[in-house]
Chain A
Amino acid sequence: MSIQATKSSEDDPILQWVTFRLADESYGINVMQVQEVLRYTDIAPVPGAPGYVLGIINLRGNVVTVIDTRDRFGLPSEEVTDNTRIVIIESDGQVIGIMVDAVAEVVYLKQSEIETAPNVGNDDTSRFIQGVCHKNDQLLILVDLDKLLSDDEWQEIAEL
Chain B
Amino acid sequence: MSLDTDDEILQDFLVEAGEILEALSGQLVELEQRPDDLDLLNAIFRGFHTIKGGAGFLQLNALVDCCHIAENVFDMLRKQDRAVTSELMDTMLNALDTVNTMFDQVRQGQEPEPATPELLAALERLTLAEDEVSAAEPTAADDTADSGDETAESEEDTAESEEDTAESEEDTAESEEDTADSTHDDEDLSAGNEPTMNEGSEPGEPGEDITDDEFEQLLDALESGKQEKKGSKATKSAPAASDSADSGGGDSDSGGGDSDSGGGDSDSGSGASDEEISEEEFEKLLDQLHGEGRFDPAKTLAGEAAASLEDEATPAPEKPKPNKSKKAASSEQASKAGDDDEITDDEFEALLDKLHGSGKFDSAVSDKYDQDTIRQVTQAAEEHRAERDDVAAKADAAAPEADKVEKKTPAPAEKSTAKADSKAQKPAEPAATAPPAAAKPAPAAAPKGGGTPEKAPIQQDTTVRVDTKRLDDIMNMVGELVLVRNRLVRLSEAGDDDETTKAVSNLDVVTTDLQNSVMKTRMQPIKKVFGRFPRVVRDLARSLKKEINLELVGEDTDLDKNLVEALADPLVHLVRNSVDHGIELPDVREQQGKPRTGKVVLSAEQEGDHIMLSIRDDGGGMDAGKLKTLAVERGVMDQDSADRLSDKDAFNLIFAPGFSTKTEISDVSGRGVGMDVVKTKISQLNGFIDIDSKVGEGTTIRIKVPLTLAIMPTLMVTLGEQAFALPLVNVDEIFHLDLTKTNVVDNKEVVIVRGKPLPLFYLKRWLIKGAVTHGEESGHVVVVSVGTQKVGFVVDQLVGQEEVVIKPLGKTLIGTAGMAGATITGDGRIALILDVPSMLKEYA
Contact = CB atoms under 8 A, between A and B. Distances in A.
Say whether A and B bind each other. Answer: yes
Interface of A: 42, 44-50, 53, 56-58, 60-65, 67, 94-96, 149, 154
A65 B819 CA distance: 14
Given A58-B824, A63-B830, A46 B768 contact: no
A64 B767 CA distance: 19
B332 interface: no
A160 B831 CA distance: 31
Interface of B: 479-480, 483, 722, 766-769, 807-813, 816-819, 821-822, 824, 828-832, 842
A48 B830 contact: no
A63 B822 contact: yes
The 9 closest A-B pairs by CB, nearest first: A65-B810, A61-B480, A47-B767, A44-B830, A63-B807, A63-B822, A94-B811, A48-B816, A48-B817
B313 to A, nearest CB: 56
B819 A50 contact: no
A57 B479 CA distance: 17
Contacts, number: 74
Contacts of A96: 810, 812
Nearest to A67: B812
Main secondary structure of the interface of A (DSSP, over half): strand
Given A45-B722, A48-B817, A65 B809 contact: yes
Nearest to B806: A63
A46 B829 contact: no
Contact of B809 (A45, A46, A67, A149): A46
Contacts of B769: 45, 47
A42 B831 CA distance: 12
Nearest to A47: B767
Given A64-B810, A65-B809, 4 more contacts: A47-B768, A47-B819, A56-B813, A58-B824
A47 B807 CA distance: 17
Given A58-B829, A61-B824, A63-B807, A48 B812 contact: no
B719 to A, nearest CB: 9
A57 B828 CA distance: 10
Given A61-B479, A65-B810, A49 B722 contact: no
A9 B51 CA distance: 57
Nearest to A60: B480
B810 A94 contact: yes
Contact of B808 (A45, A57, A63): A63
A60 B483 CA distance: 10
Contact of B832 (A46, A57, A58, A61): A46
Contact of B483 (A48, A53, A56, A61): A61
B326 to A, nearest CB: 55
A48 B819 contact: yes
12 contacts: A44-B830, A45-B722, A45-B769, A46-B809, A48-B842, A56-B832, A58-B830, A62-B807, A63-B810, A63-B821, A65-B810, A149-B812
Contacts of B828: 58
A44 B812 contact: no
B810 A56 contact: yes
Contacts of A46: 809, 813, 816, 819, 832
Which of B479, B824, B828, B830 is the most central at the interface, judged by chain A CB atoms within 10 Å of its CB?
Answer: B830
Nearest to A50: B812
Contact of A48 (B722, B818, B821): B818
A67 B480 CA distance: 24
Given A47-B766, A48-B819, A53 B830 contact: no
A72 to B, nearest CB: 12
Contacts of A57: 830
A65 B813 contact: yes
Contacts of A65: 809-813
B101 to A, nearest CB: 36
Contacts of A67: 812
A64 B809 CA distance: 8
Given A48-B818, A58-B824, A62-B807, A53 B812 contact: yes
Contacts of B768: 47
A149 B807 CA distance: 21
A44 B479 contact: no
Which of A44, A46, A60, A95 is the most central at the interface, judged by chain B CB atoms within 10 Å of its CB?
Answer: A46
A47 B377 CA distance: 69
Nearest to A154: B812
Contacts of B812: 49-50, 53, 65, 67, 94, 96, 149, 154
A58 B807 CA distance: 10
Contacts of B817: 48
A49 B824 CA distance: 19
B722 A44 contact: yes
B379 to A, nearest CB: 49
A39 to B, nearest CB: 15
Nearest to B812: A65
Contacts of A61: 479-480, 483, 807, 824
Contacts of B807: 61-63
A37 B828 CA distance: 19
A50 B809 CA distance: 14
Which of B813, B816, B831 is the most central at the interface, judged by chain A CB atoms within 10 Å of its CB?
Answer: B813
B480 A56 contact: no
A47 B842 CA distance: 11
Given A61-B479, A63-B830, A49 B816 contact: yes
Nearest to B477: A61
Contact of A42 (B480, B811, B819, B829): B829
Which of A45, A47, A53, A61 is the most central at the interface, judged by chain B CB atoms within 10 Å of its CB?
Answer: A47
A96 B814 CA distance: 13
A65 to B, nearest CB: 4
Nearest to A149: B812
A44 B819 contact: no
A56 B724 CA distance: 13
A67 B813 CA distance: 11
Contacts of A48: 816-819, 842
